[in-house]
């Protein structure tokens, strides 16, 4: 009987996790984000630690099995890895991520033995484990529960506490709703109602935390839609560069021009002769080109004598460069490289030997702009972006989402960028090889965009802004401390119960 009940609970948890990505882009069914945590809460509320572990793991397997299934595409379609092996690698990735929910649920069951502060414990642990997932083993801060609230009125809390506060609110509302009908006293119901009212007080919050600087600036973002199988084939390098130059020359006279991540798929010194005439023409017109382009740095301490970086460079005016600080495992560097290189095509992807830069990365700059840079996956790291945006007028993120084809990843990636704009009160220019290219205002709203798999130039205006949001000033610490305090309430209660 117990085994049957456990299997039933795991099945419900798997389903609850599997439907959760519907709350995120591109579906935007955000109320689901306020429902799915309550389902997991009810399923593990009175479970022992071991059953709770498997119920939580089932929830995580459903969430990541549907929400990040795009990993399979990048493994199988672009690395010539056999389908069965690619499926196995994806399954291992999903199962490993699901362990975060398993550990979270196990710890909840351990702390919830007095069954008195279970709701508070659940909320605190959820946020703390999301934060842990955001940095442990380089981190995977994807599908955080607060992102869907970008489509709700609760989005106004983002500049105050960032994604972490939104996750806290989403789970708190979900659990409060689950507990409301079972509250045993008017006092308990009062606390729940007060918590819900505080969250809904969003309508009293300011709408602007930062101020514009000067007049808007014209920008052109080139989306060349280069097929992935062409991008790293050196035979196509002149054709790729010509395509970017022609699109730029024919469709815009904007003062700022942006090309996406590794738009020029060659070390900057090797590509310079092909770009020289075009860059000279831009210089004469006092126009700025910023492009993703690999760069090389000579380093005698490195075994090869040099380091290669995934970089974003200002190529006209005062040339300066930003190097990517959060590299994607296997895509940009290979863990245990000597042991796994050559085992399968997946471990030999092009440009998978990038190096980390020095820790003191400065914002990009032009004569008029200070720009916070985030290359591809870096936009998913809230604290990394907030730290650089404090010193910047606007944020530039470049990406090559061609790796993920026609999957959920590009839309999820764009939603993440929108929340970074809202957290930091800064405009974001998002430049991608094949979409979704977009201009995002300081409210996290898309003002202009180009759909995926279209060649084109996105033209528009952006604002430079100054000032700091509360999130930029305080970071995630207030939310994390509040979450930890909720967990400690149960820990202290459990200790007292055992000693009495």
Q: If DSSP codes are grouped into helix, strand and coil, which group holds residue 404?
A: helix
* Tokens of residue 127, six digits: 């946020």
Same-domain check for residues 369 and 495: no
What is the residue whose two structure tokens read 């955000």? 30
Contact 284, 317 (CB under 8 A): no
pLDDT of 347: 46
What residues are paired with 370 via a beta bridge?
Answer: 365
Residues 6+ apart with CB under 8 A from 171: 37, 122, 123, 126, 127, 145
| Spatial distance between the Cα atoms of 94 and 88, rounded to a whole number of angstroms | 10
Same-domain check for residues 199 and 304: no
Contact 483, 127 (CB under 8 A): yes
CA angle 289, 293, 299 (to 5 degrees): 125
- 204 exposure class (CB count in 10 Å sphere: 0-12, 13-18, 19+): exposed
pLDDT of 286: 93
| Domain interval for residue 228 | 211-468
Task: Catalytic residue, from 130, 261, 266, 378: name it.
Answer: 261
Tell me, yes or no, whether 450 lies in a domain: yes
Q: Edge to edge, what strands does the sheet with 446-450 contain? A: 364-365, 370-375, 394-399, 428-432, 437-440, 446-450
| Spatial distance between the Cα atoms of 127 and 478, rounded to a whole number of angstroms | 12
Same-domain check for residues 482 and 463: no
| Spatial distance between the Cα atoms of 420 and 441, rounded to a whole number of angstroms | 10
Tell me, yes or no, whether 473 lies in a domain: no
Q: How many domains does the chain divide into? A: 2
pLDDT of 182: 65
Tell me, yes or no, whether 303 lies in a domain: yes
| Spatial distance between the Cα atoms of 10 and 17, rounded to a whole number of angstroms | 10
Percent share of the chain, pLDDT over 90: 65
Is residue 184 part of the annotated active site? The answer reads no
What is the residue whose two structure tokens read 């508070």? 120
Could you tell me if residue 118 is left (phi over 0), alpha (psi between -120 and 50 degrees) or otherwise beta?
Answer: alpha
Same-domain check for residues 89 and 76: yes
pTM value? 0.92
Q: Is the peptide bond before 337 cis (omega within 30 degrees of 0)?
A: no
Contact 24, 67 (CB under 8 A): yes
Contact 74, 403 (CB under 8 A): yes
Low-confidence ranges of the chain (pLDDT < 70): 1-6, 78-79, 113-116, 181-200, 300-305, 329-354, 494-500
Could you tell me if residue 292 is left (phi over 0), alpha (psi between -120 and 50 degrees) or otherwise beta?
Answer: beta
| Spatial distance between the Cα atoms of 400 and 391, rounded to a whole number of angstroms | 26
Same-domain check for residues 112 and 228: no
Same-domain check for residues 274 and 136: no
Phi/psi of residue 362, nearest 5 degrees: -100, 155
Contact 376, 261 (CB under 8 A): yes
N-terminal to C-terminal alpha carbon distance within the chain: 33
Same-domain check for residues 182 and 217: no
Same-domain check for residues 485 and 456: no
Q: Where are the alpha helices (DSSP H) in 154-261?
A: 158-180, 186-200, 228-231, 237-251
Same-domain check for residues 181 and 244: no
b/e code 298-325 from CB counts within 10 Å (16+ = b): eeeeeeeeebbbbbbbbbbbeebbbbbb
Same-domain check for residues 122 and 12: yes
Tell me, yes or no, whether 456 lies in a domain: yes
Tell me, yes or no, whether 57 lies in a domain: yes
pLDDT of 466: 97
CA angle 281, 375, 222 (to 5 degrees): 40
Is residue 370 part of the annotated active site? The answer reads no
Task: Catalytic residue, from 130, 179, 266, 324: name it.
Answer: 324
Tell me, yes or no, whether 32 lies in a domain: yes
Is residue 376 part of the annotated active site? The answer reads yes
Residues 6+ apart with CB under 8 A from 180: 189, 192, 193
| Spatial distance between the Cα atoms of 166 and 159, rounded to a whole number of angstroms | 10
Tell me, yes or no, whether 353 lies in a domain: yes
Taking CA atoms, 287 is separated from 64, 290, 316, 319, 428, in Å, by 44, 10, 7, 13, 19
The CATH number for 243's domain is: 3.60.110.10
pLDDT of 402: 83
Task: Catalytic residue, from 10, 231, 332, 376: name it.
Answer: 376
Same-domain check for residues 200 and 226: no
Tell me, yes or no, whether 96 lies in a domain: yes
Phi/psi of residue 414, nearest 5 degrees: -65, -40
Same-domain check for residues 141 and 258: no
Pairing of strands 211-223, 256-258: parallel
């Amino acid at each position: 009987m117990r085994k049957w009940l456990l299997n039933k609970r795991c099945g419900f948890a798997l389903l609850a996790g599997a439907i959760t990505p519907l709350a995120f882009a591109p579906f935007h069914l955000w109320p689901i984000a306020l429902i799915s945590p309550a389902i997991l809460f009810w399923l593990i509320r009175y479970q022992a630690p071991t059953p709770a572990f498997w119920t939580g793991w089932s929830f995580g397997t459903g969430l990541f099995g549907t929400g990040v299934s795009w990993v399979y595409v990048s493994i199988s379609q672009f690395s010539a890895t056999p389908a069965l092996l690619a499926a196995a690698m994806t399954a291992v990735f999903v199962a490993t991520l699901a362990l975060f929910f398993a550990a979270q649920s196990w710890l909840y069951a351990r702390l919830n033995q007095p069954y008195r502060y279970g709701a508070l414990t659940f909320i605190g642990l959820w946020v703390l484990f999301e934060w842990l997932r955001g940095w442990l083993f380089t981190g995977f801060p994807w599908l955080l529960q607060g992102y869907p609230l970008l489509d709700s009125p609760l989005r106004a809390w983002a500049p105050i506490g960032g994604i972490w506060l939104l996750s806290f609110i989403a789970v708190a509302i979900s659990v409060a709703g689950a507990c409301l009908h079972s509250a045993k006293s008017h006092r308990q119901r009062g606390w729940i109602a007060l918590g819900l009212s505080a969250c809904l007080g969003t309508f009293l919050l300011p709408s602007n935390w930062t101020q514009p600087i000067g007049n808007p600036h014209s920008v052109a973002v080139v989306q060349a839609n280069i097929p992935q199988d062409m991008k790293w084939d050196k035979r196509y390098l002149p054709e790729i560069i010509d395509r970017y130059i022609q699109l730029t020359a024919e469709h815009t006279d904007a003062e700022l021009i942006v090309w996406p991540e590794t738009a020029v798929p060659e070390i900057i010194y090797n590509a310079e002769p092909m770009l020289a005439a075009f860059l000279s023409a831009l210089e004469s017109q006092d126009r700025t080109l910023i492009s993703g382009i690999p760069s090389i740095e000579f380093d005698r301490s490195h075994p090869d004598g040099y380091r290669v970086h995934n970089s974003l460079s200002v190529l006209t005016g005062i040339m300066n460069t930003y190097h990517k600080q959060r590299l994607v495992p296997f895509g940009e560097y290979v863990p245990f490289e000597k042991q796994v290189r050559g085992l399968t095509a997946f471990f030999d992807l092009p440009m998978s030997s990038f190096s980390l830069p020095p820790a003191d990365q400065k914002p990009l700059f032009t004569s008029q702009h200070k720009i916070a840079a985030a290359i591809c996956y870096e936009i998913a790291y809230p604290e990394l972006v907030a730290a650089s945006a404090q010193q910047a007028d606007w944020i530039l993120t470049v990406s090559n989402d061609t790796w993920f084809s026609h999957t959920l990843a590009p839309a999820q990636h764009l939603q993440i960028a929108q929340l970074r704009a809202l957290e930091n009160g800064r405009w974001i220019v998002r430049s991608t090889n094949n979409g979704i290219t977009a201009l995002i205002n300081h409210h996290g709203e898309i003002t202009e965009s180009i759909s995926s798999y279209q060649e084109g130039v996105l033209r528009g205006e952006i604002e430079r802004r100054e000032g700091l949001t509360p999130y930029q000033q305080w970071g995630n610490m207030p939310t994390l401390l509040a979450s930890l305090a909720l967990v400690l309430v149960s820990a202290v209660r459990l200790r007292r119960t055992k000693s009495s």
